[in-house]
Amino acid sequence: MNKKYWLMAVSALLALSLSACSEKDDNEAAGDKEKANAEEVSTDASDTDKEDAADENATEQTITYLGEDYVLPAKVDNIVAASLESMEDATILGVKPVGVLAIGDAIPEYLARDLEGASLVGDKFAPNNEAILALDPDVILGSSKHGEDVVAAMNKIQTMIPYSHLSENWEENLQLLGKLTGKESKADEIIGDYNAKAAEAKDKIGDSLKDKTVLVLRIRQGSMAVYSEDVYLNSVVYKDLGLEVPEIVTNTKGQGELALETLADINPDYIFLQFDDSENADNLTAKDDLLANPIFKSITAAKEDHVFVNTIAPLAQGGTAWSKVRFLDAAIENLVSE
């Protein structure tokens, strides 16, 4: 063979050999990378499986509410609603507690239909610890108004969460109950709908009530009660609808008694008046007596037919989603139309 052609043949063979070696090295490198990736995915999946298994095997969970941590069973089935606030929120969320409070030895009438079948565990002043214990609760939703002795007794049975009675905590309340019952989405939906409706109503009112005085009053033990800005139904009127806060409300801490003569001096333009027989057992005619009183009748709200009696259930606690949703509708009906 000619030397020239022999060299060309050798060069060609060498090139083919180098190409084959390079392809082999590339394939091996790619294989090593795929193997490493597969091992990494396998490790991640294994870690996830371990975490899931740990969650499934957990016997406890920690719930954070209003800055405090509460240790509960991992699975919450039996809820004792030992406060009217938690009973109202259970109703609006469609939750059925195993135990609820009684008024007059029965579930409060305005919640009775939705809470039918729940066992009674005493009243709001003196929950029955034996009745609560018999229900084997996973959590007890008490009240932030409960005294230390009541709280201590409940915590001996099961973790008691002091459900807030303040309107400013209504969203946290509903979200807590939603988390405990797997209804977080519904809780968020209720909150979102309420805030959107309140904002729309506030825009409609605008400055139309700028110089008007609106009061929420409640007759208890025959006397008129007035509340601070963040208690009872007041947050709907002054915060959510943006109406001016009267001085009497600003100066009230929690709940205060209001004399008829003082009310006449304030001379409100609108009054939302709440009255229930169970809170006035010794003075069942208190509401009618007030409405018929000449001093009361001289007030602007009375003269202009702007006294609205029991626009929502008179025992409604005020600072809950149930109360706020219903009272917002009542306020819109009686104030926005003006």
Residue linked to tokens 């405990």: 180
pTM, whole model, 2 decimals?
0.81
Q: Give the DSSP H or E segment for 271.
A: strand 270-275
Tell me the CB-side half-sphere exposure of residue 168, using CA atoms within 13 A.
8
Give the model's pLDDT for residue 336.
83
Q: What is the mean pLDDT of residues 92-99?
A: 97
> Per-residue pLDDT tens for 109-126?
999 999 999 999 999 888
Range name among 23-37, 77-91, 98-112, 291-305 with the lowest pLDDT average: 23-37
- Is residue 8 very low, low, confident or very high in pLDDT (cuts 50, 70, 90)? very low
pLDDT at 199: 97
Give 14's pLDDT tier (boundaries 50, 70, 90): very low
* Residue 3 reports pLDDT greater than 80: no
Amino acid sitting at position 58: A
Helices (DSSP H) in the chain: which residue ranges? 3-57, 84-93, 109-112, 129-134, 148-157, 170-181, 184-205, 234, 247-250, 260-266, 286-292, 294-297, 300-303, 321-331
For residue 16, pLDDT over 80 is answered with no
pLDDT of residue 109: 95
Q: Report the C-alpha gap between 144 and 146 in whole angstroms.
A: 6
3-state class (DSSP) for residue 244: coil
- What is the band of 104 on the pLDDT scale with cuts at 50, 70, 90? confident
pLDDT score recorded for residue 331? 96
What pLDDT, on a 0 to 100 scale, did the predictor assign at position 13?
A: 41
Q: Are strands 68-73 and 119-120 parallel, antiparallel or unpaired?
A: unpaired
User: What does pLDDT average to over the chain?
Assistant: 88
Q: Give pLDDT, residue 58.
A: 81
